[in-house]
Amino acid sequence: MYPILFKIGDFTLHTYGVLIAIGFLLAIALGIKEARRVGLDPNLILDLSFYVLLAALFGSRLFHVLGNLEEFRENPLDALKFWQGGLVYYGGVIFAFLVGIWYVRKQRLNFPQMADLVAPSAAIGLAVGRLGCFSAG
């Protein structure tokens, strides 16, 4: 395990965060490339990615907080400090999926086509992100 890439003073760069970011950026790049290939506006993928990122952060933090309520009883505002760690993988996936469905419906896109388009992107992003989880121990 190699949870910290480097530390300078109070600034710590965690391997988990770097790999999650790389996975997300790879997923966006692949999604844009695939959207262009099938003739879909790549901006739809960028917008979807923005909403999915926010939903994944919210969902993963929410599931962590709900699973550890005792930790946050004394200082409830600590629940908002997601940068201090405490994200639950499946909470992020669930919320990202639900927001993805909402976005596809809102934009009146073809759900099976969008699912086929984003599936490889999601797989790459999740795989690299899980390497981040492994590095964190």
Q: In this predicted model, what pLDDT tens digit does every residue of 51-104 receive, in sequence order?
A: 999 999 999 999 999 999 998 998 999 999 887 778 888 999 999 999 999 999
> Which residues have a Cβ under 8 Å from the Cβ of 109 and sit 6 or more positions away?
44
- Of 109, 119, 132, 9, nearest to 60 (Cα)? 132
Contact 129, 14 (CB under 8 A): no
Hey, where are the domains in the chain? 8-136
**E strand or H helix at 5:** strand 4-8
For 97, 100, 110, 122, the CA distances from 26, given in Å and listed in that order, are 18, 18, 23, 9
Confidence (pTM): 0.87
Q: How many residues does the chain have?
A: 137
What integer pLDDT is reported at residue 38 of this predicted model? 95
> Mean pLDDT, to the nearest integer, of 37-47?
96
Task: Examine the pLDDT at 137 and tell me if it is beyond 90.
Answer: no
